[in-house]
Every structure is written in structure tokens, then in C-alpha cells.
Amino acid sequence: MKPGISRHSKPGTLDDYRDNWWCPVDIIQPLQRQADDDGHRFVLSAPPPSFLDNDSDKTAAEIAQLEKQGNAAEFLGRIVLSWAKDHPDDARLPEALHRVVVATHLGCGDIGTPDISKAAFQALQRNYPQSEWVKRTPYWYREFSVRDSLRK
């Protein structure tokens, strides 16, 4: 969670200020990113409690696994795109693909987020051209967060 006042949006509504889903940085909030030869690694910003001293390798592995999952828009978008590929007749897909595109805008972004947004947009346009969700989804989003642009 971010410090300060929590979100002001009502549950079940989208927050225009992108406080809607999890971000990789939310997972590693108590950690600091430090550059190393491989590009980055994580270290605790405060010393761990003594009972965790022997688990630092396990902790690092778990954090790396969590970070691989990426942000919510990408994680959930990959699931929807996979489902769309395997179950194209599912009547729920036009709305789900629309929501993936919206999630890529109103959620956290990463370098891969525009690809998920574009893939969902194209699948929606190509496979469900008569759907009302096509009209609600006039474009896809190509932006990503400043945090990830600094990783280059």
C-alpha cells in the first residue's frame, strides 16, 4: 500500500488516478532496489528480524517470482488473452477484452503493458466487430510508468 490517505473512490468503481490494482512496487514496498551487475536486486531497507536472518535467499527468490508476475493489468490481461484464444465463443470476452484495455490505462504500467493493451484491443476489434464493447473501446494505450522507463 502507498503511504498517506487511502483511495477515495468507492469500492467497485475505477479511480482515474490509477489506484485500482496492484503494482510490482506495492509488492516490494519495504524493500529498496539497488543496481548490481545483473541490472537490479532487492535488499531490505531495514535489517530483517533475527528470526529471518537465515531466509534471505528464500526471500529474494520469492520477491523475484512476485516481480515476474508484473502489474495487475498485464497479469490479468495475459489470462484474458489466453482465454480468448482458447474459447473465442465465450460471450463474456468482448467486455473482458475492453476491461483489459481500460486496466492498462487506469492501472500501473510497465514496458510490456502497451503490448497487452494493443493485443486486447486488436482481438476485440477483429473477433467481435459488432459488439457494443468495440464502440466503447476506440483505442488502446501505449503509455507506461515513469518508474519503469528509468529501468532501461
Give CA 45 to chain center in angstroms: 24
Q: Quick check: 31 pLDDT over 50?
A: no
Give CA 14 to chain center in angstroms: 15
Over residues 51-84, the pLDDT tens digits come to 666 667 787 788 778 777 778 888 899 999 999 9
132: how many CB neighbours lie within 10 A of its CB?
A: 11
C-alpha cell belonging to residue 99: 476491461
Cβ-contact 98, 137 below 8 angstroms? yes
Residue 116 to residue 10: CA distance in whole angstroms: 27
- State the pLDDT confidence band at 9, using cuts at 50, 70 and 90: low
pLDDT, residue 58, reads 81
Cβ-contact 60, 146 below 8 angstroms? no
Over residues 117-146, the pLDDT tens digits come to 999 999 999 999 999 999 999 888 776 544
